[in-house]
Amino acid sequence: MKAFKVNLMSALLGGLIFVSGYPVHAVTLFSDDFSGANLGSIWEVQKGFATMDNGWVRTQGSTPGSRDAYIMTHEGDSTWANYEITTRFNPLGGGDDWYNGQIVFRVQNMDGWVDGTYYRLWINTPSWGDDAGRNTVSLLKHTPENGFGFEIIDTYHVAPGVLNDNDNTVQVRAIDGDFDVTINGMLGGHFHDDNPILTGGIALGSVWESTTRYDYVNVTAVPEPETYAMLLAGLGIIGFMSLRRKESAI
């Protein structure tokens, strides 16, 4: 029995060493670096204006017209469930010094600032126009039940220096009802929703006559727990077969 346990452990370790050279890569669902002369047709200018700007896309609201601006893709896509969004934004201000980034995800449908079903991550940088909102990260939830309004899931005040007014890289990881936000490599907040929106696309934008530029966006699928279970099972099988081949050769 002892020898069997030792051999089984050797098999698992052998499988781990073997498979470590073949990592499981996340599946890319969507990617755009905004390097073209025009905004790709996969995007819908849902509100306001969107123009290309030397490798960035510039979203801008105005008056008269829409005070907000959003570009949206894969609205209502049921194949987009658990995923991770990475993007880079440059707040240019406008309106009442509203220096912000708006990253919207799990979009079932979207119509303007407060209509539709989706989550909106509202990020205010150091030059935001009032002390209370400065250096904050808020997650808002929009559903038909809210009517012309929204539910604030939570708000985080990040430490000074985490956000800036020039160049911010944001990563949003959405798994079921848990949402982790990283900003410039630092924690931007952990949010939880007991009754989550589970699928849908994304949008990027700005609010209240302000302007925000985005340099790229990348969306990758987060593997389901079953994927890791299958990987571990595969490790054992590969390691065990490797051990059997070695024993047969002796």
Instruction: Give the model confidence (pLDDT) of 152-194 as tens digits.
Output: 999 999 999 999 999 999 999 999 999 999 999 999 999 999 9
Q: What pLDDT does 248 receive? A: 56
In a domain, 16, yes or no: no
CATH number of the domain within which 185 lies: 2.60.120.560
List the domain range (segments joined by +) for residue 102: 28-224
Over 90: is that where the pLDDT of 30 sits?
Answer: yes
173 φ, ψ (degrees, to nearest 5):
-110, 115
Q: Regarding beta strands 69-73 and 56-60, do their DSSP bridges make them parallel or antiparallel, or are they unpaired?
A: unpaired
For residue 175, CA distances in Å to 26, 80, 105, 180 come to 14, 11, 12, 9
Separation CA 9–CA 5 (nearest Å): 6
Is the pTM higher than 0.75? The answer reads yes
155 within domain boundaries? yes
Residue 98 in any domain: the answer is yes
Q: How many domains does the chain have?
A: 1
Residue 250 forms part of a structural domain: no
Q: Is 239 inside any structural domain?
A: no
Query: Does 163 reside within a domain?
Result: yes
Rounded Cα distance between 194 and 170, Å, is 24
Would 188 be classed as within a structural domain? Answer: yes
Return the C-alpha torsion angle 75, 80, 81, 86, nearest 10: -90
Range among 13-22, 64-73, 239-248 rated most confident: 64-73
How many CB atoms neighbour CB 101 within 10 A? 28
